[in-house]
Amino acid sequence: MAQKVTPKILAGFMELLPSEQLVFDEMKALIEKTYQSFGFVSLDTPVLELSDVLLAKAGGETEKQIYRFNKGDNDLCMRFDLTVPLARYVAQHQNDLTFPFKRYQVSKVYRGERPQKGRFREFYQADIDIIGSEKLSVIYDAEMPAIMYHVFQKLGLERFCIKMNNRKLMNGFYESLNLTQEAPEISRIIDKMDKIGIENVKACLKDLNLSDELIEKIVSFTAINGKATDVLAKVKTVGIQNDMFETGLNELEIVANAMQDLGVPETHFEIDLKITRGLDYYTGTVYETFVDGHQGWGSICSGGRYENLAGYYTDRKLPGVGMSIGLTRFFDLLRDQKMITPQKSTAADVLILPMDENATAYALKLAHLLRTNDINVQTYASDGKFKNKMVYANKVGVPFVIVLGEDEVANKTVALKNMQSGLQELVAYDQVADVLKSQLELQMKDKKKLIVQA
């Protein structure tokens, strides 16, 4: 016997079973639908880009993680995020696009890093961005988190919080302390507060040769967080005289107010002066989203405002604001916590079980009829004991089964069985579609949300 090859996939790649895939697809569809409800259109850029293009700006950590290779004379890269391809796209097609340009993209990206829990080498990002020409209203900075709020609402996630901050505010703050140079390093340390604790943060700051007085100022200022109105009031009393600081503060206030107008309750967003985001291209508002009780997950949805998206490709100034859900990680964590429950492994609403060969033609015609009525139908074509067909129906979790035997064929009826209740009724052939539709609608009504949070 020939040696068999072990069937397996690479580490850091996620592959789902049918029941899970159905949930994932539903989640993805719901996200896209919500994005569309704000007028965004989808974009589908290539997985591969020329290295020159993709790495125009790269450097540091990201570059190390990029899948890069040669094919013929081409030096190629697999995209590691969706923002750089967006920049390329907007720069390339700037004359054909209408600004503000609103696009979303739910696609896979690739990073060759060490796989760990929640860290994949291939994963979905669900990005949404608005790009303006020369200028872009700060109102859009409020629209972004509002969209995300509605996304999570629709998914059924109830307890979460979108935390935001403003880089201008922070840079202004550091500028007022004459710490412009050290600001990025300080931010990185402050960001670790929850993880390593206040004493370690102070120790790290001390290593930067900061005076105790400065450290105290920084730590107490960045400790400000909570309800937007409270934070804004507090920040105003700190009394910092700096133009950039004022601008940032003003932006934060506009965004916080607009978010409420957009239907985001104050319970679901906060201002947190510790948030800065690692990526250096953010220049204004920044966001991170946390699920209550699961801070360890990190941010499941982040983003921010960038003043110049495509500076490496064009002289035209293209400011934008965007957010992104790490869909693969989010899904993986939800599944891990049993916050999503795969139910069925078929897309069919109804499974038709012909008793024997004599019912096959009748079954196929019925299936066709139902499909023309927008019902997903599967017919079971194999022979075998009838019981096994029922077992199959049960395993795939199909909500309805239609049994077709000698009697049904003769009388032009069907036996329609609700698999959940176990009840079965005899329905005339002509009425099956209507009856089934109304029953499916009933089931839709008391369908639970995708995500159930304990």
Using only C-alpha atoms, what is the Rg of the chain? 27
CA–CA gap between residue 362 and residue 366 (Å, rounded): 6
Residue 421: CB atoms within 10 Å = 7
What does the block give as tokens for 135?
A: 């200028």
Asked if residue 186 lies in contact with residue 174, where contact means CB atoms within 8 angstroms, the answer is yes
> Site for RNA (CB under 7 A): how many residues?
54
The region of 137-145, 215-223, 306-314, 322-330 touching RNA under the rule CB under 7 A is 322-330
CA distance 302 to 289: 6
Give dist(CA 324, CA 301) in Å, integer. Answer: 5
- Burial zone of 374 (CB within 10 Å; 0-12 exposed, 13-18 middle, 19+ buried): exposed
Residue with Cβ nearer RNA (381 or 391): 391
Helix, strand, coil % in the chain, rounded to nearest 5:
45, 20, 35
**Lookup: tokens for 113:** 């890093």
**Is residue 320 a contact partner of residue 127, using CB atoms and an 8 Å limit?**
no
From 391, 425, 431, 443, residue interacting with RNA (rule: CB under 7 A) = 391
Q: Per-residue x/- mask for RNA, residues 71 to 110, rule CB under 7 A?
A: ----------------------------------------
Binds RNA (CB under 7 A): choice among 232, 415, 435, 452: 415
DSSP-derived pairing of the beta strands 269-272 and 225-227? antiparallel
Identify residues 132-161 at the interface with RNA (CB under 7 A): none
**Identified binder of RNA from the candidate list 197, 226, 278, 293, rule CB under 7 A:** 278
408 binds RNA per the rule CB under 7 A: yes
Task: Give 110 or 245: the residue with its C-beta nearer to RNA.
Answer: 110
- Which of residues 285, 328, 346, 379 is near RNA by CB under 7 A? 328
Q: Is the CB of 223 or the CB of 391 nearer to RNA? A: 391
Residue 11 sits in the site that holds RNA (CB under 7 A): yes
**Candidate residues 107, 171, 324, 378; the one interacting with RNA per rule CB under 7 A:** 324
By CB under 7 A, name the one of 28, 118, 283, 316 that touches RNA. Answer: 118
Q: Distance between CA 306 and CA 284 in Å, rounded?
A: 7
Longest dimension (CA), the chain: 93
* Comparison of 146 and 419: residue with beta carbon closer to RNA: 419
Lookup result for tokens 């019925």: 366
Stretch binding RNA (CB under 7 A), from 22-30, 68-76, 150-158, 407-415:
407-415
3-class DSSP state of 181: coil
Helices marked H in 372-405: 386-396
Q: Which helix (H) or strand (E) holds 93?
A: none
Rounded to an integer, what distance in angstroms lies between the CA atom of residue 169 and that of residue 233?
A: 14
With CB under 7 A as the contact rule, which of the stretches 113-121, 159-167, 173-181, 265-273 interacts with RNA? 113-121
Applying CB under 7 A, among 33, 93, 114, 135 the residue interacting with RNA is: 114
Residue 111 touches RNA, criterion: CB under 7 A? yes
Contact between 263 and RNA by CB under 7 A: the answer reads no
CA separation for the pair 81, 369 (Å, rounded): 45
Q: Which stretch binds RNA (CB under 7 A): 71-79, 173-181, 323-331, 339-347?
A: 323-331
By C-beta, is 266 or 407 nearer to RNA? 407
Identify which of residues 81 and 175 has a Cβ nearer to RNA in the complex. 81
The C-alpha atoms of residue 248 and residue 254 are separated, in whole angstroms, by: 10
Of 166-205, binders to RNA (CB under 7 A) are 188, 192, 195
Residue 355 near RNA by CB under 7 A: yes
The correct pick among 138, 300, 310, 334 for binding RNA (CB under 7 A) is 300
Listed residue (175, 159, 190) closest to 286, CA to CA: 190
What does the binding site for RNA look like in residue numbers (CB under 7 A)?
10-12, 61-62, 111, 113-121, 123, 125, 188, 192, 195, 277-279, 298-302, 324, 326, 328-329, 355, 385-388, 390-391, 393-395, 401, 403, 405-408, 415, 417, 419-420, 422, 424
